[in-house]
Amino acid sequence: MTIVIHAENLTKRFGQFTAVDRVSFRVEQGEVIGYLGPNGSGKTTTIRMLIGLLLPTEGKANVLGYDVVQQSEQIRKRIGYMSQKFALYRELTVEENISFYAGVYGVQNRNRLVEVLDLLGLRTLAHERVDELSTGWRQRVALAAAIVHHPQLLFLDEPTSGIDPTARRAFWDLIYALVEKGVTAFVTTHYMDEAEYCTRVGIMRSGKLLAMDTPPNLNTLYLPGPVFEVIAQPLLPALNALSACPGVIRARLLSDHLSAFTTPDVNATKLKKAMRDAGFIKARVEPSEPTLEDVFLALEAS
Amino acid sequence: MEALIVARNLWKSFDGMDAVRDLTLQVSGGQIYGLVGPDGAGKTTTMRLLCGAYLPTAGEVRISGYLLSKQPEMARAQIGYLPQRFSLYEELTVMENLRFFAEVRGLTSQMWYPRSLEILEFVGLAEFADRRAGQLSGGMRQKLGLAAAFVHRPKILLLDEPTTGVDPVTRQDFWQLIIKLSLEEEVAVLVTTPYMDEASRCTRLGFMRDGKLLIEGSPNELKAPLNGRILMLRGTPLPLLRDRAKEDPCVEDALMFGDRIHLRVKGGTKKIELARLKRAIRKAGGEVTQLRLIPPLMEDVFIAFVKTEEEKSTTHIEA
């Protein structure tokens, strides 16, 4: 497999503050990488270093075979970058915006313009001004502008912040369509459920990459054991009882029921018995699907 | 339980643009009502209408029985409001900030101190009482914001995207606090969020889009129609699996995720019909490693709802 991104101990310090702290990872062609972390965890700074907009303080990175420090121009020709605040000309039309970016990247073929408009379902909106579009549609225009020059690698910085689930779904279908053609996507997000769209997920906190793996592997590697939903009343005493059950690592409230992850030796029957012994005779315990949020909480507990 | 927040047929227009359209909702004590929707859906405008910062173009708001337009002071005294960007005095300590908010809310000099200690203990900031607000982390600021909004023990809490952009662990802690307030103090909580996975923590949910409340219900009520209808399909190659699945008459929708596909099948789909899909995939050269039922997500609920509505409106036009 071709490695398209190779980062080794990539570090960026701004004065005393370490924004990105010895981050190392590899990305293969055709992957969809989710780079997940809260605001200020170093996601955007990582991208900026990878596309050569920001010099690393330490460490090195290679993107599409080019060094990010020495050969950033080569990299920028071959990648597409969609930033959080899309760089679109709001008073220009959809077509004018895409045509502008085609010019910037030296795309000569006029057919490509039509192709991109079609691919993103923007044909009928070609002559609309960008500032008259909804956020969801504007996001598509920004994606169109980012792919007009056939990039092999796409960096998408929080591409779906603030759009509704149907528009987000449509956006992801477009990303998958590009990936089917061999494009690699590197996507930052602070939505944990969005990271589920990715083939591998990197978890960032305070500049450090805590883990990077497929969602099922993250579950098995970082979750100490199974996750359960517990239905018992009254909730607050039940939460205390559940926290005290043998093997429970972390118990939490989910509005009208409880959730807990446990050590591997616990099963639903055992947990139910422990809850009943604690006086919650009607307690129900069901195994639940682990989420990335559980993984996050487990990483914190470890 | 009596409804503490009642909004009836609320409208708000700005320069002829309807930001909120005919919105009706109720929140009782002990309920956590989640208003979910994309940017620009009208969530913040709704919040501002409910706390009296905006006057509605039409409709009425009752807070604990007081009509907001007639008795605004009485109504507002019942509300704790945490705006999306709330301001703290950076130069003042945590305790000094709380004192300020407590006194603005009319707590006497005997009352504010014990109450502040109590609320700081509750939000987990007791040991930081003397730290300057400017030196708090993002998560701690949010907790201080919650403490300030709740210092006068309001019956109603309005929280505008309190967890956007904060880390998952803080988000988790924050929600534990909100749920406890609703359970222990029977507060009526209205919270807006762009996060679908957060929605399942609410006791009641409303989806907003284009100023309208599209659907409303408890998470279980909303998910009920999809129970037993969402399946996870794993195997290779994924695009082939998706295309075959879409051709199957039982499959209403096939959504790709990173390493799997979520299928939404027609109600009452039988095992034998799923076996047919597996065979079709194998015949086309694909491989199925897993096909099993999973519980529906709020996102599935929303997408299914919007699709059905769109289909309805198309049939309507055709008819």
Question: CA gyration radius for chain B?
Answer: 24
Q: Where are the alpha helices (DSSP H) in chain A?
A: 43-50, 72-78, 94-104, 110-119, 135-147, 165-180, 192-195, 215-222, 235-244, 268-277, 292-301
pLDDT in the model for residue B315: 61
Decide: helix, strand or coil at residue B312. helix
Mean pLDDT, rounded, of chain B? 91
Pairing verdict, β B156-160 and B188-193:
parallel
Across the interface, whether the CB atoms of B168 and A38 are under 8 A apart is answered yes
Evaluate the CA torsion angle B182, B172, A238, B216 in order and state its sign: positive
- Rounded to whole angstroms, the Cα distance separating A261 from A104 reads 52
Across the interface, whether the CB atoms of A162 and B219 are under 8 A apart is answered no
Across the interface, whether the CB atoms of B169 and A236 are under 8 A apart is answered no
Q: Which residue has the tokens 């101190």?
A: B113
Q: Does A16 touch chain B (CB under 8 A)?
A: no
Q: Which of A86, A116, A81, A76 is nearest to A99 (CA)?
A: A116
Could you please report the per-residue DSSP string of B66-107? Answer: EETTT-HHHHHHTEEEE-SS----TTSBHHHHHHHHHHHTT-
Across the interface, whether the CB atoms of B165 and A39 are under 8 A apart is answered yes
Name which of A161, A162, A297 is nearest B168 (Cβ-Cβ): A297
Name which of B38, B166, B168 is nearest A135 (Cβ-Cβ): B38
Q: Which two structure tokens, joined as six digits, stand for B33?
A: 């009502």
Q: Is B267 exposed, middle or buried (0-12, 13-18, 19+ CB in 10 A)?
A: exposed
Phi-psi sector, B294: left (phi>0), alpha (psi -120 to 50), beta: beta
Across the interface, whether the CB atoms of A39 and B303 are under 8 A apart is answered no
Q: Does A135 touch chain B (CB under 8 A)?
A: yes
Query: Which positions 233-262 of A are in contact with B (Cβ < 8 Å)?
Result: 234-236, 252-256
Helix (H) or strand (E) holding B287: strand B287-293
Q: Does B2 touch chain A (CB under 8 A)?
A: no
Which residues are within 8 A (CB) of B51 and not within 5 positions of it... i.e. 6 or more apart?
B76, B79, B81, B158
**Angle, in degrees to the nearest 10, between helices A94-104 and A110-119:** 130
- Can you tell me the ipTM of this complex? 0.79
How confident is residue A162, by pLDDT bands cut at 50, 70 and 90? Answer: confident
- Rounded to whole angstroms, the Cα distance separating A58 from A8 reads 9
- Rounded to whole angstroms, the Cα distance separating A200 from A212 reads 7
Q: Which two structure tokens, joined as six digits, stand for A115?
A: 């192709």
Looking at the complex, report in whole angstroms how far the Cα of residue B181 sits from the nearest Cα belonging to chain A: 11
> Which tens digit of pLDDT belongs to each residue from A196-240?
899 999 999 899 999 999 988 998 899 999 999 999 999 999 999
Nearest chain B residue to A32 by CA distance is: B258
Buried b (16+ CB within 10 A) or exposed e, B146-182: bbbbbbbebbbbbbbbbbbebbbbbbbbbbbbbbbbb
pLDDT in the model for residue A293: 85
Q: Which of B158, B150, B219 is nearest to B185 (CA)?
A: B150
Pairing verdict, β A208-213 and A200-205:
antiparallel
pLDDT in the model for residue B314: 67
Predicted TM-score (pTM) above 0.90: no
Across the interface, whether the CB atoms of B299 and A165 are under 8 A apart is answered yes
Across the interface, whether the CB atoms of A297 and B302 are under 8 A apart is answered no
CB A271 within 8 A of CB A230: yes
Across the interface, whether the CB atoms of A255 and B195 are under 8 A apart is answered no
Q: Which two structure tokens, joined as six digits, stand for B178?
A: 């909100």
Give backbone dihedrals phi and psi of A230, rounded to 5 degrees, phi first: -120, 125
Looking at the complex, report in whole angstroms how far the Cα of residue A233 sits from the nearest Cα belonging to chain B: 11
Q: Does A17 touch chain B (CB under 8 A)?
A: no
The 3-state secondary structure of A115-148 reads HHHHHCCCHHHCCCEHHHCCHHHHHHHHHHHHHC
Q: Which two structure tokens, joined as six digits, stand for B171?
A: 């988000």
> Which tens digit of pLDDT belongs to each residue from A253-290?
988 899 999 999 999 999 999 999 999 999 999 999 88
Beta bridge partners of B8: B60
> Which tens digit of pLDDT belongs to each residue from B84-107?
887 889 999 999 999 999 999 989
Which residues are within 8 A (CB) of A159 and not within 5 positions of it... i.e. 6 or more apart?
A82, A139, A142, A143, A171, A187, A189
Q: Is A174 exposed, middle or buried (0-12, 13-18, 19+ CB in 10 A)?
A: middle
- Rounded to whole angstroms, the Cα distance separating A182 from A4 reads 11
> Which tens digit of pLDDT belongs to each residue from A62-102?
999 999 999 999 999 999 999 877 789 999 999 999 999 99
Name which of A197, A235, A289 is nearest B257 (Cβ-Cβ): A197
- Rounded to whole angstroms, the Cα distance separating A180 from B243 reads 13
Q: Which of A248, A239, A253 is nearest to A283 (CA)?
A: A239
